[in-house]
Amino acid sequence: MALSDDELDRYARHIVLPQVGGAGQLRLKDARIAIVGAGGIAGGVLPALVGAGIGHLTIIDDDRVELSNLQRQPIYGSDQIGERKSDLAARFAGKRNPHVKVRAIVDRIDIDNADAILSGHDLVFDGTDNFATRLIVNDASFRLGIPLISAAAQQFQGQVALFRGRPCYRCFVGDAFDADDCDTCAELGVLGALTGTIGNFAALMAIRALVGIGPDAAGTLHLFDGLSLSWKQLRISADLSCRTCGETS
């Protein structure tokens, strides 16, 4: 696999970075990433990954654009209300970078389809808004041995973490939310610019992990507070009794 003249020009500011270079750019081109949820977090993740030249993206979402989404979901327009987000996100990506192969899956991840949808990817992004889906995505990623970047934003707080094996996302949140859809974003609110900040940070983590830049970020929770404008890092402990990655699972 090689980079065309168009790609060499397009990614010139990457390639000149010693930590990326031509070899790193080829790694990005070779990568397959699944993006679960095409909402606000994806609005930060998608433009960055598409611009970076990730070779294959799968976008999974069954929602349609609503008027109240536009405050924090910048890849959609007022003239697209009612249209399928996954299709629109794929169209957005294709227009932004024709070298990226995008597949839109109009579906909701569940226990029955998660393994089939996510297998074959090098990285999974979860930007969904409910714990039940997040735990299903976590469990499938763990089973399939695929690193997972989980990102969320609410009110003025955002969090992002990369999970690779143990500890997993379930170690972090526990089982409490397994049965319920705990989506409280609609009730509690979220600052529109926050989802983009968190999504963009998550894309940076993905690019670092794929190219192999800097220390490994797996197992560290990155918390952003939009009120104090500060980032905090916390180590996530492995839960020995975790149903997903624990010793008895």
Going through 44-186 in order, the beta strands assigned E by DSSP cover 56-60, 101-105, 123-126, 148-154, 157-163
In this complex, which beta carbon is closest to Zn ion, that of residue 54 or of residue 168?
Answer: 168
Mask 110-149, x = binds Zn ion (CB under 5 A)? ----------------------------------------
193 SS3 class: helix
When the beta carbons of 162 and 245 are compared against Zn ion, the nearer one is 245
Angle made by CA atoms 182, 187, 192, in degrees to the nearest 5 = 105
The residue assigned the tokens 């714990």 is 131
Residue 100 touching Zn ion (CB under 5 A): no
CB of 178 to Zn ion, least distance (A): 13
Q: Total residues contacting Zn ion (rule CB under 5 A)?
A: 6
Q: Alpha helices of the chain — where are they, by DSSP H?
A: 5-10, 12-15, 21-30, 40-52, 85-96, 114-118, 131-144, 169-173, 185-188, 192-211
Q: Which residues of 161-188 are buried (b: 16+ CB within 10 A; e: fewer)?
A: bbbbebbbbbbbbeeeeeeeeeeebeee
> What pairing do the DSSP bridges indicate for beta strands 101-105 and 56-60?
parallel
Report the nearest approach of Zn ion to the CB of residue 170 (Å).
4
- Name the segment binding Zn ion (CB under 5 A); options: 98-106, 169-177, 190-198, 225-233: 169-177
Cα(87)–Cα(64) distance, integer angstroms = 10
Q: Which of 161, 171, 202, 217 binds Zn ion (CB under 5 A)?
A: 171
Beta bridge partners, 223, equal 159, 232
Q: Which residue has the tokens 């963009």?
A: 200
Residue nearest to Zn ion (CB): 242
Q: Identify the residue among 31, 136, 168, 218 touching Zn ion (CB under 5 A).
A: 168
> Smallest distance, Å, CB 204 to Zn ion?
24
Among 46-54, 103-111, 204-212, 236-244, the segment contacting Zn ion (CB under 5 A): 236-244
Site string (187-206) toward Zn ion, x via CB under 5 A = --------------------
Asked, as a colleague might, if the bond just before 167 is cis with ω within 30 of 0, I would say yes
Of positions 170, 195, 203, 205, contacts Zn ion by CB under 5 A: 170
| By the rule CB under 5 A, 164 interacts with Zn ion | no
Binding residues for Zn ion, per CB under 5 A?
168, 170-171, 242, 244-245
